[in-house]
Structure 1
Amino acid sequence: MSYQFPSQGLISKILVLGTLLLASACGPTANNEGGKAASTFETATDFPIGSKDAKVVMIEYASITCPHCANFHLNVLPTIKENYIAPGKVRYVFREFPTPPIELAMAGHLIARCAGGEKRNQVIDTLMRQQGDLVSQAQGPTGAKQAFLNVALSFGMNESQFDACMKNEEQLKTLVEVRDGGIAAGVTGTPTLFINGVMFEAPIGREITAEDVGKALDGALAKAK
């Protein structure tokens, strides 16, 4: 199986750079909504969803090539959005933690970041929903580029913009910085959740459920009163 984008050499170079910078990196203090961060748990590279006044912030480290992440996104997150995020109780942030095949994960997350703004989270949603098909297409005759180009086109990019996105070193460095921040925080697998800075203890031997996360969020909300 061969994935031709982003360049593996470029990814390797930036991964090494990210590792070298990890020890001295300082977390930024503002987010993509502009101005000051709504909480101490958010960073300049985040695309938060939910009220700035929420007393609880849930961070998810996940990958668009991770089946467990897709399960969480499709079967757990909608309930959390309905019961906690929409009512303004919880603020939610998705952070990238690319998993193998790294080139595919990086490509998907790059498209999302290049789309930017509200489209970024919409791209993540599309990639999660189409995860199985995208991986299958990447292994087929049309290849990985066409599979991900189709997604990019659906969000208003043209092919030239897509190609430029795949070579965007600044965005690649951002992905590595986000990943390295996760590693520094103790992330070893995906999805990993942090609720007001505390790592959520995922159940052993089964998928995370909305009930599991709801109990943890209720506990955090009670403490935050």
Structure 2
Amino acid sequence: MRTSRRAVLSSVGTAASIGVAGCLGGGGGSGIPDYDCDTSSSTDSVSELPRPVIGDPEADVTVAVFKDFACPHCATWELEESPTIESEYVDPGIIRYEHWDFPIPVHDTWSPGVANAARGVQDRQGDEAFFAFAKTAFEHHESYSWDIVGYAAEEAGGDPCSAIRDGESGTYEAVVSADREAGVGRGVQGTPTVFVNGEPVSAPTADAVSTAIENAR
């Protein structure tokens, strides 16, 4: 029987505020397969993973985005704003584009759960699969279920039951928590928060991020 993990992380506290609109806390799709997974077996926790990156890892300009997988504003970024940045700067190899986890949590189960599942996909299938998983997950962020998590993993070329198990058990919780702590240290208080070469962007929009990239080149 599946049990939901309840790893609620501490609030941001006294970290400096960054002025970006987004999620500030609180807070099964049609055609999705029904995965009959045995998730009762234990998994070893993982404490370190490389940063999920697309684009040119050695580029002079780095775009870092802090996201909560249950945040609707992060879904807007991922599905409506980020594609412009990807086509204009990631695909040509102009920038290094980094994902950072920042589970506020908007939802006690899905904020950390989907992040853990995503990191499992990254660990087994690589960075491209991680970002593919993220896109599919955000497409279904309003109706998350463990079957949707499995579907997103399968669409990215991963094993659905492994992703579900990682999400439920928190296999990569240390990795996700380390990202969040780093975000707190950088003044992140809401998601999505975007940095270009370490400087916060005023708004999580393609126009604002493009301007920051051009200024940094």
What TM-score, normalized to structure 2? 0.71
Residue 57 of structure 2: aligned partner: 52
Counterpart CA distance in 1 for 2:146 and 2:83 is: 30
Which structure 1 segments of 5+ residues have no match?
20-42, 135-143, 203-207
**What are the equivalent positions in structure 2 for 1:166-185 lying under 5 Å apart?**
166=167, 168-185=169-186
Residue 77 of structure 1: aligned partner: 82
| CA spacing shift, 1:219–1:131, aligned 2, 3 Å | same
| CA spacing shift, 1:158–1:212, aligned 2, 3 Å | closer
Residue 116 of structure 2: aligned partner: 110
Residue 122 of structure 1: aligned partner: 132
Counterpart CA distance in 2 for 1:169 and 1:53 is: 31
- The answer to whether structure 1 residue 157 and structure 2 residue 159 are counterparts is yes
| CA spacing shift, 1:114–1:210, aligned 2, 3 Å | same
Q: Report how many residues are paired.
A: 174
Counterpart CA distance in 1 for 2:189 and 2:207 is: 23
**What are the equivalent positions in structure 2 for 1:21-60 lying under 5 Å apart?**
45-60=50-65
User: How far apart are 1:149 and its partner, in Å?
Assistant: 3.4
Residue 91 of structure 1: aligned partner: 96
User: How far apart are 1:150 and its partner, in Å?
Assistant: 3.5
User: How far apart are 1:172 and its partner, in Å?
Assistant: 0.7
Deviations 1:134-164 (A, max 9, x none): 2xxxxxxxxx3334334344443253x3454
The structure carrying a bigger helix percent of its residues is 1
165-174 vs 191-200, which deviates more? 165-174
Q: Give the letter aligned to residue 194 of structure 1.
A: F
Counterpart CA distance in 1 for 2:185 and 2:119 is: 22
Residue 15 of structure 2: aligned partner: none
Residue 23 of structure 1: aligned partner: none
| CA spacing shift, 1:106–1:214, aligned 2, 3 Å | same
Identity of matched residues, %: 26
Q: Is the 8 A contact 1:45 1:174 kept in 2?
A: no
Counterpart CA distance in 2 for 1:89 and 1:163 is: 34
| CA spacing shift, 1:45–1:53, aligned 2, 3 Å | closer
Deviations 1:182-204 (A, max 9, x none): 011100000101111111122xx
Of 120, 125, 141, which residue of structure 2 is paired with 1:131? 141
User: How far apart are 1:115 and its partner, in Å?
Assistant: 1.0
Q: Give the letter aligned to residue 82 of structure 1.
A: S
Larger Rg: 1
User: How far apart are 1:65 and its partner, in Å?
Assistant: 0.9
- The answer to whether structure 1 residue 68 and structure 2 residue 64 are counterparts is no
Q: Give the letter aligned to residue 135 of structure 2.
A: D
SS at match of 1:132: helix
Q: State the superposition RMSD in angstroms.
A: 2.4
What TM-score, normalized to structure 1? 0.69
Q: Is the 8 A contact 1:69 1:191 kept in 2?
A: yes
